[in-house]
Amino acid sequence: MPKFDYRRYDDRDCIDCKISFTPFVHNQSRCRVCVEITQIKEGNYNKAANKNYHKACKWCSEEFQLTGPASLYCSSACRRDARLAKLYNLSRPTFLKLTSKKTCDICNEKGFLLNPTYDRKFVIDHDHSTGKVRGWLCHNCNRGLGLFQDNIKLLEKAKSYLEGATTIPEGSTLQAIGSGSAQHSKEE
């Protein structure tokens, strides 16, 4: 299903100033500046009515120009942050404090971009059974916890394995096995 685009009207040139603009309604022929100028010249300018073209962002409170009747956020980043804060039941100050961290809570690394189109180097880690937020992790640490299914016993077993693991003695590698040292002889 295609994503609904609030800017469904094609850009057109203003009939007064000839500057290209995105219309707010289907039959709009003047840009917003020229509409205000025309209203002032005709004496029917209502400043309160023209506030409808601008709105405060629901997340950051920055004023922005509406792109459609249902615009709530000034950018896709604000929309994403508001959605995440609501999903994890975080207030805006708590969310901003958490996301302002520059390093992972586990490895203290600076993180990396998993996808060039996604601008976050970290993810919000949460307990899947309770939904409570635990911290701010890089993609690798978050993935590692997920692969261990958030199971502390498995993580402890992995830790003890790593602490007690020794390297395999030379000569017992897969190449040695494949070269005939582990093959059965055919004597008949």
pLDDT digits (tens, 9 = 90+) for 93-105: 999 999 999 999 9
Structural domain contains residue 28? no
Report the number of distinct structural domains present in the chain.
1
CATH at residue 110 = 3.40.1800.10
Structural domain contains residue 140? yes
Q: Which residues of the chain have pLDDT under 70?
A: 1-8, 44-52, 168-169, 171-188
pLDDT of residue 32: 82
Structural domain contains residue 126? yes
Using only C-alpha atoms, the chain has a radius of gyration, in whole angstroms, of 30
Q: Tell me which residue of 129, 120, 171 sits closest to 151, measured CA to CA.
A: 129
pLDDT of residue 94: 93
Structural domain contains residue 81? no
pLDDT of residue 116: 77
Q: What is the pLDDT of residues 77-126, one digit of tens each?
A: 999 999 999 999 999 999 999 999 999 999 999 988 877 777 788 899 99
Structural domain contains residue 75? no
Structural domain contains residue 132? yes
> pTM, whole model, 2 decimals?
0.57
| Farthest-apart Cα atoms in the chain, separation | 112
Contact 66, 7 (CB under 8 A): no
SS3 104: coil
Tell me the sheet residues that pair with 65.
54
Structural domain contains residue 158? yes
Write out the residue range of the structural domain in which residue 127 sits: 88-164
pLDDT of residue 186: 46
Q: Tell me which residue of 108, 145, 96 sits closest to 125, measured CA to CA.
A: 145
DSSP for 111-125?
---SSTT---SEEEE
Structural domain contains residue 33? no
Neighbours of 17 (CB within 10 A): 13
